């Protein structure tokens, strides 16, 4: 995710070589990366061994496949934005990685993602489109690589039994709190293509023990979050560049209504303790963040020259990526019956 500027007073004539002479504070970027590496390694160890199980310092190596994979996906996504920005002579910072510590009783991925900051305005729709689409498409490809590796390198059944010795017991999970990740169209397709009947394929309630599947799923989740065509999300940049201000606002408004409905559905299911929900309460909070912080409407750019036909085709492909990466109910938490 990047923070774009659309200052109408900005001119590309202001962007001489001097715009790039001021170096980034590399220490901050490196420090945040290292801290995020630590927090994601700890989170990965928790996911794989099980939260609440406890582990020794020497067991942190178990979390390395998780942390390396998740930093790979986030880095590819953000550097997609970064290099597209530099190509269009838009000044941008290096990625700021956002660490998030593993807290008892609070499941998390060890990071809140990463962000770049554009320090000069994006002056036309072509640059807006290219910078907006480069990140999620690059991150999607990275997630695809991680998922294919995960599905083609599934460990045997002894792996899950080492974590849950009673996994095949008929009473396994009864009365205990469980977390289930939501399927996506792409996740289902890859599972069908790259696994066979001889493989032990973990259910969605157990994939967090499998670092490549967990991180690949998270990569699709981040892609979907960013590709929602609202405001200054990546999808919003793409939608505005393709359709213009009025149509973009209509699309964004419809998406906000759908997100709110998914969020309300999740709340209702939780309140009545339904075992099935076509929604997730988190979407309601995400809709609030979009409405008050990121905004529904995209700010105008200085140059409204339409983008090329080739870019429009890429835009439609990016929205197809959004659809196959999106899960109406990405997280379901409940008690086993």
Q: Determine the Cα–Cα distance for residues 1 and 222; give it in Å rounded to an integer.
A: 9
> What's the total number of domains in the chain?
1
- pLDDT given for residue 15 in this prediction: 33
The CA radius of gyration of the chain, in Å to the nearest whole number, is 21
pLDDT on residue 49: 85
**What are the per-10-residue average pLDDT scores of the chain (337 residues)?**
43 35 77 97 89 74 96 98 96 96 75 92 95 98 98 96 92 81 97 96 95 97 97 97 97 97 89 72 95 95 95 98 97 72
Give the whole-angstrom CA distance, residue 79 versus residue 71. Answer: 12
The pLDDT score that the predictor gives to residue 17 is 37
Give the separation between CA 220 and CA 214, rounded to whole angstroms.
10
Contact 136, 77 (CB under 8 A): yes
Which residue from 200, 302, 215, 297 is spatially nearest to 256, judged by alpha carbons?
297
Per DSSP, the three-state class of 93 is coil
Pairing of strands 111-121, 96-99: antiparallel
- Domain limits for position 184: 2-335
With residues binned 3-state (H G I as helix, E B as strand, rest as coil), the percentages for the chain, rounded to 5, are 60, 10, 30
pTM confidence score: 0.90
Predicted pLDDT of residue 332: 87
Give yes or no for a contact between 287 and 327, defined as CB atoms under 8 angstroms apart: no
- Is residue 227 within 8 A of residue 325, CB to CB? The reply is yes
- 90 phi/psi in degrees, rounded to 5: -100, 120
So what's the pLDDT on residue 234? 97
**Rounded to whole angstroms, how far apart are CA atoms 36 and 114?**
10
Both tokens of 150, joined, read 């995960």
């Amino acid at each position: 995710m990047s923070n774009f500027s659309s200052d109408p007073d900005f001119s590309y004539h202001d962007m001489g070589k001097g715009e790039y002479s001021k170096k980034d504070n590399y220490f901050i970027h490196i420090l945040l990366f290292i801290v995020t590496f630590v927090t994601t390694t700890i989170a990965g160890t928790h996911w794989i061994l099980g939260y609440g199980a406890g582990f020794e310092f020497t067991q942190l190596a178990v979390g390395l496949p998780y942390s390396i994979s998740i930093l790979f996906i986030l880095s590819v996504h953000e550097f997609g934005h970064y290099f597209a920005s530099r190509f269009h002579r838009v000044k941008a910072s290096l990625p700021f990685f956002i660490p998030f510590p593993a807290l008892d009783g609070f499941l998390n991925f060890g990071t809140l993602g990463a962000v770049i900051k554009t320090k000069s305005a994006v002056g036309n729709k072509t640059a807006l489109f290219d910078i907006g689409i480069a990140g999620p498409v690059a991150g999607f490809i990275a997630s695809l690589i991680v998922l294919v590796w995960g599905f083609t390198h599934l460990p045997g059944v002894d792996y899950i039994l080492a974590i849950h010795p009673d996994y095949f017991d008929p009473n396994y999970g009864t009365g205990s709190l469980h977390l289930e990740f939501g399927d996506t169209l792409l996740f289902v397709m890859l599972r069908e293509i790259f696994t066979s009947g001889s493989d032990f394929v973990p259910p969605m309630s157990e994939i967090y023990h499998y670092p490549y599947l967990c991180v690949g799923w998270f990569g699709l989740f981040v892609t979907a979050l960013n590709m929602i065509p609202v405001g200054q999300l990546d999808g919003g940049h793409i939608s505005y560049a393709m359709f213009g201000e009025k149509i973009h606002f209509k699309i964004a408004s419809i998406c906000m209504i759908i997100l709110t409905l998914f969020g309300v559905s999740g709340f209702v299911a939780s309140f009545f303790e339904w075992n099935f929900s076509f929604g997730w309460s988190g979407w309601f909070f995400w809709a609030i963040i979009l409405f008050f912080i990121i905004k529904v409407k995209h700010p105008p750019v200085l140059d409204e020259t339409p983008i090329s036909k080739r870019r429009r085709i890429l835009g439609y492909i990016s929205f197809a990526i959004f659809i196959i990466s999106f899960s109406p109910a990405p997280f379901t938490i409940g008690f086993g019956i």
